Amino acid sequence: MVRYLITGGAGFIGSHLVEALLARGDEVAVLDSLSTGRLSNLEAVRDHPAFSFTQGSVLDELAVDQAVRDCDVVVHLAAAVGVKLIVEQPLYSLTTNIRGAICVLEAAHRYRRKVMVASSSEIYGKNNADALNETSDRILGSPAVARWAYSTSKAVDEILAYAYHRERGMPTIVVRLFNTVGPRQSPAYGMVIPRFVRQALAGEPLSVYGDGSQTRCFCHVADVVDALVRLLGEPRAEGDVFNVGSSEEISIEELAKLVIARTGSSSELVHLPYDVAYEAGFEDMARRVPDVTKVGEVTGWKAKRHLVDVLDDVIAEVRAEYALARDI
């Protein structure tokens, strides 16, 4: 049995990881400020004897110190995420991501704990390669653009993890998460699938930003959690970085049409220019496709679910949510 600390464990990915680790028989403590995470995400594990929850920020050194002291392995997921949030609150995003990672890594160093740090495919910036592998270049615009500032903050988190590994011998693992989707993902921070599914089920137009030709690969959160659990159990992963994501590429226009088809909605598509959807000068990535060879070689991982599986799971969740709201 391993005692895990999951920072950001009340968030979308975190809460699924908590459930997977408890199901394996591990002990899990969550530290979460509940700024974007929700206690309702942890409903299923609330009374589990091996689970504990502390409301606190990763910027609170004392709270982090105590939580890290009492665990064996840290999974650092607490971060400002979502393009909408990082564009609207760049200072908050930078502080949470950089200072939060420093605080967690310093405590892990103090107590000699293993740490997994969650990074993001945002670090690749505008690199439109066929498949981005872990050594692909970062291509960024001006740091005055909030998105590139966010990308830099996640790269700083990575660099800190590498430096602690090389210079201090700490076992750190970096995971670069590509678009991750599934039940419990909030529509509040801009993510496209929870937004499209709600719009379709409400009979509202689906808001396609730009011309909709930009592509993404959406991975089911259950597959992402499977990759994280495998990497946590693999000593060869220490000191290294791994892409985790789906290789099934789809344009946002096609995604909108697929959501309409799977929901049976009569909604239309509406195209919104980026500077209306976000802010003047906003830059999007034309495509973002991961090369996941490395995580496959080291752990045997492969995404098992397809985009339609993700959509059906999210549609079922949102239908239940709407039915509940109607009953109240």
The SS3 of residue 51 is strand
Tokens of 216: 């993404």
- Closest to 204 (Cα-Cα) out of 312, 328, 322: 322
The token duo for 190 is 């801009």
Report d(CA 253, CA 206) in Å as an integer: 10
Residue in 177, 297, 160, 292 with CA at minimum distance from that of residue 237: 297
- In angstroms, the CA 294 to CA 305 distance is 19
Nearer Cβ to ligand UDP, position 192 or 295?
192
CB of 296 to ligand UDP, least distance (A): 22
Q: Which residues bind ligand UDP (CB under 6 A)?
A: 83, 179, 190-192, 195, 207-209, 214, 216, 252, 284
Half-sphere exposure (Cβ direction) of 79: Cα atoms closer than 13 Å = 27
- What's the length of the chain? 328
Here the tokens at position 132 are 């981005």
Instruction: Provide the minimum distance between the beta carbon of 326 and ligand UDP in the complex, in angstroms, as a whole number.
Output: 24
Instruction: Name beta bridge partners: 74.
Output: 5, 115
| Residue 107 vs 217, nearer CB to ligand UDP | 217
Whole-angstrom distance, CA of residue 295 vs CA of residue 297: 6
Catalytically active residues are 150
The CA angle 9-278-175, to the nearest 5 degrees, is: 35
Nearest residue to 231 via CA among 20, 11, 80: 20
Grouping H, G, I as helix, E, B as strand and the rest as coil, residue 182 is coil
* Rg of the chain taking only CA atoms, in angstroms: 19
Q: What SS3 class is residue 88?
A: helix
Distance CA 221, CA 306 (A): 11
Q: Which of 154, 156, 69, 65 is nearest to 104 (CA)?
A: 65
How far apart CA 288 and CA 2 sit, in angstroms, is: 35
The amino acid occupying position 40 is S
